[in-house]
Chains A and B, each alone.
Chain A
């Protein structure tokens, strides 16, 4: 079994994908944890899965279609009451587009 080594670049990339900002200490710990778990997960390589279709659901599920009709009442105010910041009936986010 090849032992997994996670590079600093990989950790950086995972942080971008996961949208997490880790301290240097957290990064080191996360790296160690991930290496250990991946070493364990590599056990799956013992198994010959050639020609086996990946199974995403235990049953054969198909897309369920329905008419795109609004059925619930307007809940704008209740929903906005959960927002960390709101203004004029909208969610407030940091400025994202430069003028």
Chain B
């Protein structure tokens, strides 16, 4: 048995039954990290010692019967915009290069209470602004399926770490598609929950009205189990919602009957790659064979989502990132004349180009004279987009779509034209504007061996319907691993490490 091939829930069962120790699981991940990081670079920070120490603690609690949840003892990775007490939290930015939070994000704390062992912090686009993980101050992450390509973003490190089996699951954050798009590119399963489902306490804010934390996992069962743990009402987040229906694993039924699925016609027009289109529509066909009702429909206002999003997200970013001033934490410029010069030079040297671009755009659309024309106009557009979805969900349980118009682009091909990069967010952004939950699951690969994902959107608070649809679809397929060890074996003829032999020691 190769330990790394297990899903989080499968591993949790083996840990529970004492077939595998927490230490063995952590060591397997650490060895994989050591082997593949030079090539993939999913992590900004890892701490083997801390993970092994935690493993002992968790093992004791499991042995004493204090911890018996499905994720107890399972090693995980955390996106580096989620605060972790005692672990550096950088947002992949120079300005937070040495920041060590004094508290842990609520979602991470809940995972730890459920017995998670943290392995490290994953790379991302700086402050989650980007779609390729190339804007990270610490260098790019590469797509494990083909290292000439990006993993997507902004949660590219989390998705690559799961795909490369450097952890059993990860947390990401999704402001405009940052969980679903890299999940699609890396062939993993990611969920952006309904806004307010997971506490944002301890998530370093980008666009507060759009940000939501969610799981990145190997399959739908894992994703549901993780979401069940991290979903909570939290008085420390004023936008947190008190929900009673967070028993998400109860929705894991292979049953297409009763599901009404809508396919927005306009999502399959200009700009989408043929292979992506074919693969996603095939997934719809499979769900139909499983008993779901599937039809095309006209979803309105699709072309207005991106401009509205970039106004709103940039406006909120310009306000949220005002706190980085070189006083209380983070980078401070070495040479300055007076307070304002210190602020300006600190920020100009500490932030990367894309972050500055969005702060400037945000400052502009919020400035007097432009506020009504841009910011309020975007908020009015958002209201209309929400109405269009409300209308669609009167008829459909699930909206099925691609997560991105293409598979993962080549490294270095996206950043020179920001507007073009923004247009790639067309299928994911509306869910953030309307607060909707969305899941992305693998549905195929293109001719270059790069994964394709299918996205399923549900109405607010109806995660269970998209989980059921995704699970039903997933049951018709075999999970494909991106087996880097095997790839290396083929390349170099080395032996694959297995438990009891190489890795068992």
Residues on A facing B (Cβ under 8 Å): 10, 13-15, 17-22, 30, 33-34, 36-38, 40-47, 49, 52-59, 61, 63-64, 66, 72, 75, 78-79, 81-85, 91, 93-96
On whether the beta carbons of B418 and A79 are closer than 8 Å, the reply is no
Interface of A is mostly: loop
Question: Looking across the interface, which residue of chain B has its beta carbon closest to that of A57?
Answer: B209
Give the docked Cα–Cα distance between A93 and B326 (Å).
9
With A81-B100, A84-B332 known to touch, is A58 a contact of B435 (CB < 8 Å)? yes
Give the docked Cα–Cα distance between A72 and B102 (Å).
11
On whether the beta carbons of B382 and A55 are closer than 8 Å, the reply is yes
Cβ contacts under 8 Å, A43 to chain B: 303-304, 307
Cβ contacts under 8 Å, B308 to chain A: 44
Among A22, A34, A44, A58, the most chain B Cβ lie within 10 Å of the Cβ of: A58
Give the docked Cα–Cα distance between A63 and B239 (Å).
9
Give the docked Cα–Cα distance between A49 and B310 (Å).
18
Contact partner of A20 (CB less than 8 A), chosen from B327, B360, B419, B422, is B360
B147 proximal to A (CB < 8 A): no
On whether the beta carbons of B460 and A58 are closer than 8 Å, the reply is yes
A9 to chain B, nearest CB (A): 12
A69 to chain B, nearest CB (A): 12
Q: Which of B58-66, B67-75, B370-378 contacts A (4 or more CB under 8 A)?
A: B370-378
On whether the beta carbons of A34 and B361 are closer than 8 Å, the reply is yes
Cβ contacts under 8 Å, A58 to chain B: 195, 209, 382, 386, 433-436, 460
Q: Which of B337-345, B397-405, B471-479 contacts A (4 or more CB under 8 A)?
A: B337-345
With A63-B238, A64-B235, A91-B328 known to touch, is A19 a contact of B364 (CB < 8 Å)? no
Give the docked Cα–Cα distance between A37 and B322 (Å).
22
On whether the beta carbons of A21 and B235 are closer than 8 Å, the reply is no
Cβ contacts under 8 Å, B347 to chain A: 18-21
Give the docked Cα–Cα distance between A6 and B384 (Å).
29
Cβ contacts under 8 Å, A42 to chain B: 307
Cβ contacts under 8 Å, B378 to chain A: 41, 44
21 contacts between A and B (CB under 8 A): A15-B360, A17-B364, A18-B356, A18-B360, A18-B363, A19-B322, A41-B307, A41-B310, A41-B378, A52-B380, A53-B383, A54-B379, A56-B379, A57-B209, A57-B435, A58-B433, A59-B460, A72-B103, A82-B98, A82-B328, A93-B342
On whether the beta carbons of A30 and B356 are closer than 8 Å, the reply is yes
Residues on B facing A (Cβ under 8 Å): 98-100, 102-103, 195-196, 209, 235, 238-239, 241, 301, 303-304, 306-308, 310-311, 318, 322, 325-332, 336, 338-345, 347-348, 351, 356-357, 359-364, 366-367, 374, 376-384, 386, 418-419, 422, 433-436, 460
A2 to chain B, nearest CB (A): 11
With A55-B383, A58-B386 known to touch, is A21 a contact of B328 (CB < 8 Å)? no
Give the docked Cα–Cα distance between A94 and B342 (Å).
8
Cβ contacts under 8 Å, A55 to chain B: 379-380, 382-383, 386
Question: Looking across the interface, which residue of chain A has its beta carbon closest to that of B418?
Answer: A33
On whether the beta carbons of A54 and B376 are closer than 8 Å, the reply is yes
A97 to chain B, nearest CB (A): 10
Give the docked Cα–Cα distance between A21 and B349 (Å).
9
